[in-house]
């Protein structure tokens, strides 16, 4: 028996998953019957009754995972690029380029782009001739780790108007220009890369993402779904400059975008109110050490509170749920003030530094803390320096959970990889690469991290949507290292397999 009209627009088969253990459920294995895109029965010894049967041999079944903050186009671009951060010489970088071109040739007409090289420490000099010797006539553009240099072969130099350049190593503005040029790829090529990124996410158990690309993505995603990209649910966010368009179309947060078989919905209204920790532009109550007396000592405040209130009021009255980017404690206080004045709920994206008094305000106002735990691992040393004396309330996940705040986890890919297991492991352990946990009192229990990655679903229940992940290990009992690399054997979206390695 098949069911027409399930999410994805394909006929989601009636499926029986035999012998699964429910994450967060009882110890005994059960069978799970899926039909019409939903879980319709959970019991042992269910009759197949025409269903397609998969014997899962006691593997674990959990609600499918969400990444609540991604930039999908940028992630698709970055994951195609060659990582050169480990190259210790120009010759070694060139060898990596040659290997990559042999193992994964580039599409005709496009370039191989690499990133992350650090030539300051190399014993030999980068040269166009060295790249030519491994790349032939394929254009190669390598971007340095600080983005201020690019190293090109002759084909790329010709393409970017520097045919006569002696070395192929460009610095500053010419480098920025080439970098920007290779980030513009034709729609059909980018769509194919996004399709790969979607499949890779599904292979990690992901069933949906909140896409916060800065250009309005509703039509792009509709085109991609029509073109066969059906591995994820997409909530496509709207920024201030896209607000009029979305309001004119009458789309509210959660509304299905026509022609997407239910896979693409209008996402939140995203608005950015401060900068970031690494650039010391996150807006804080206290000055950054070393910047005292500087007009920018406390970071960047983008809106006066009444302006922010105006934006939230406009969006929420049109049915769009605000997602406010706020990193510093002052920015978070302002965002909460704005939510309180407007009287709407929504999320604060990042919420990295919080005044203790503001933590309970999230709970009281029903504001979701949308956090990226892996940033804490990337930025712990930066935070120890720039937020010295304040890090006890930085990335304060357990304080939020204890106060009853709804947490949702994300990656902010490409900043961190689009892999919710990485986010969960960082939230649960606050450690990586064997380092001492950073503020271990802010670790959350695995069940809280999982619920924050599933839209609040802590276990698979009858009548829930059949967005599911099958794992080899119990995520609630896995070690930090196991959680980070969780083996995923299958993913179902509305009862349809989007990944199967059974």
- Binding residues vs Zn ion (CB under 5 A): 412
Whichever of 74 and 118 has its CB closer to Zn ion, that residue is: 74
User: In whole angstroms, how close is the CB of 68 to Zn ion at the nearest point?
Assistant: 10
Question: Which phi and psi angles does 400 have, rounded to 5°?
Answer: -65, -45
Which one-letter DSSP state was computed for residue 288?
P
User: In whole angstroms, how close is the CB of 235 to Zn ion at the nearest point?
Assistant: 14
Q: Which residues contact 234 (CB under 8 A, 6 or more apart)?
A: 72, 208, 209, 211, 217, 221, 263, 264, 265, 267
Whichever of 211 and 329 has its CB closer to Zn ion, that residue is: 211
CB-closest chain residue to Zn ion: 412
User: In whole angstroms, how close is the CB of 244 to Zn ion at the nearest point?
Assistant: 22
Q: Pull the structure tokens for residue 4.
A: 């027409």
User: In whole angstroms, how close is the CB of 413 to Zn ion at the nearest point?
Assistant: 9
Q: How far is CA 98 from the centre of its chain?
A: 30
Question: Which phi and psi angles does 298 have, rounded to 5°?
Answer: -105, 10
Whichever of 412 and 419 has its CB closer to Zn ion, that residue is: 412
Contact 83, 115 (CB under 8 A): yes
Whichever of 274 and 412 has its CB closer to Zn ion, that residue is: 412
| 25 to 59, 67, 281, 474, 485: CA distances (angstroms) | 13, 23, 44, 11, 22
Whichever of 215 and 479 has its CB closer to Zn ion, that residue is: 215
Alpha carbon distance 213, 414 (integer Å):
11
Whichever of 68 and 111 has its CB closer to Zn ion, that residue is: 68
Whichever of 212 and 336 has its CB closer to Zn ion, that residue is: 212
User: In whole angstroms, how close is the CB of 208 to Zn ion at the nearest point?
Assistant: 16
Measure the N-to-C terminal CA separation of the chain; round to a whole number of Å.
Answer: 23
User: In whole angstroms, how close is the CB of 277 to Zn ion at the nearest point?
Assistant: 13
User: In whole angstroms, how close is the CB of 71 to Zn ion at the nearest point?
Assistant: 6
User: In whole angstroms, how close is the CB of 70 to Zn ion at the nearest point?
Assistant: 8
Residue 82 backbone zone (phi > 0: left; psi -120 to 50: alpha; other: beta): beta
Alpha carbon distance 351, 331 (integer Å):
9
Alpha carbon distance 93, 153 (integer Å):
13
User: In whole angstroms, how close is the CB of 210 to Zn ion at the nearest point?
Assistant: 10
Alpha carbon distance 476, 318 (integer Å):
40
C-alpha closest to that of 9 among 190, 229, 192, 252:
229
Omega of the bond leading into 291 within 30 degrees of 0 (cis): no
Q: Which residues contact 164 (CB under 8 A, 6 or more apart)?
A: none
Task: List 169's β-bridge partners, or say none.
Answer: 151
Whichever of 6 and 327 has its CB closer to Zn ion, that residue is: 327
Whichever of 73 and 412 has its CB closer to Zn ion, that residue is: 412
The upper half-sphere exposure of residue 90, i.e. CA atoms within 13 Å in the direction of its Cβ, equals 21
Whichever of 54 and 375 has its CB closer to Zn ion, that residue is: 375
User: In whole angstroms, how close is the CB of 195 to Zn ion at the nearest point?
Assistant: 21
C-alpha closest to that of 358 among 327, 335, 333, 389:
333
User: In whole angstroms, how close is the CB of 79 to Zn ion at the nearest point?
Assistant: 16
Whichever of 78 and 150 has its CB closer to Zn ion, that residue is: 78
């Amino acid at each position: 028996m098949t069911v027409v009209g399930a999410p994805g627009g394909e006929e989601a088969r009636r499926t029986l998953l035999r012998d699964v253990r429910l994450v967060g459920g009882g110890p005994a294995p059960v069978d799970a019957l899926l039909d019409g895109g939903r879980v319709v029965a959970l019991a042992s010894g269910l009759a197949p009754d025409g269903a397609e049967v998969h014997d899962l041999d006691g593997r674990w079944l959990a609600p499918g995972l969400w990444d609540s903050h991604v930039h999908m186009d940028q992630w698709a671009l970055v994951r195609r690029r060659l990582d050169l951060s480990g190259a210790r010489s120009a010759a070694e970088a060139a060898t990596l380029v040659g290997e990559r071109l042999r193992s994964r040739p580039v599409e005709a007409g496009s370039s191989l782009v690499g990133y992350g090289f650090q030539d300051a420490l190399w014993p030999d000099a980068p040269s166009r001739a060295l790249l030519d010797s491994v790349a032939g006539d394929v254009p190669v553009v390598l971007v340095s780790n600080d983005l201020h240099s690019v190293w090109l072969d002759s084909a790329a130099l010709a393409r970017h108007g520097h045919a006569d350049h002696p070395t192929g190593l460009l610095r500053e503005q010419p480098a920025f220009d080439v970098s920007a040029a290779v980030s513009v790829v034709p729609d059909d090529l980018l769509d194919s890369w996004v399709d790969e990124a979607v499949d890779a996410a599904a292979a990690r158990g992901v069933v949906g993402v909140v896409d916060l690309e800065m250009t309005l993505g509703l039509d792009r995603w509709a085109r991609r779904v029509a073109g066969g990209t059906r591995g994820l649910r997409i909530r496509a966010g709207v920024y201030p400059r896209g607000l009029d368009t979305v309001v004119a179309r009458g789309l509210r947060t959660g509304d299905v975008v026509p022609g997407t078989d239910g896979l693409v919905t209008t996402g939140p209204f995203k608005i950015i109110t401060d900068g970031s920790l690494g650039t010391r532009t996150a807006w804080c109550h206290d000055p950054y050490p070393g910047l005292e007396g500087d007009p920018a000592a406390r970071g960047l405040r983008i809106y006066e509170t009444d302006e922010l209130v105006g934006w939230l009021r406009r969006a929420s009255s049109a049915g769009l749920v605000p997602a406010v980017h706020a990193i510093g404690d002052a920015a978070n206080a302002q965002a909460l003030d704005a939510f309180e004045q407007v009287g709407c709920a929504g999320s604060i994206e990042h919420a990295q530094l919080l005044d203790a008094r503001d933590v309970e305000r999230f709970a009281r106002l029903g504001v979701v803390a949308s956090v990226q735990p892996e940033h804490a691992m990337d930025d712990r040393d930066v935070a120890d320096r720039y937020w010295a004396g304040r890090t006890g309330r930085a990335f304060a996940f357990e304080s939020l959970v204890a106060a009853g705040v709804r947490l949702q986890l994300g990656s902010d890919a490409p900043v961190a990889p689009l892999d919710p297991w990485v986010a969960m492991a960082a939230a649960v352990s606050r450690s990586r690469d064997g380092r001492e946990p950073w503020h271990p009192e802010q670790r959350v229990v695995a069940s809280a991290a999982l619920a924050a990655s599933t839209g609040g679903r802590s276990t698979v229940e009858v009548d829930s949507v059949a967005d599911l992940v099958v794992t080899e290990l119990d995520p609630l009992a896995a070690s930090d290292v196991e959680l980070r690399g969780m083996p995923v054997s299958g993913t179902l979206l509305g009862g349809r397999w989007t990944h199967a390695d059974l």
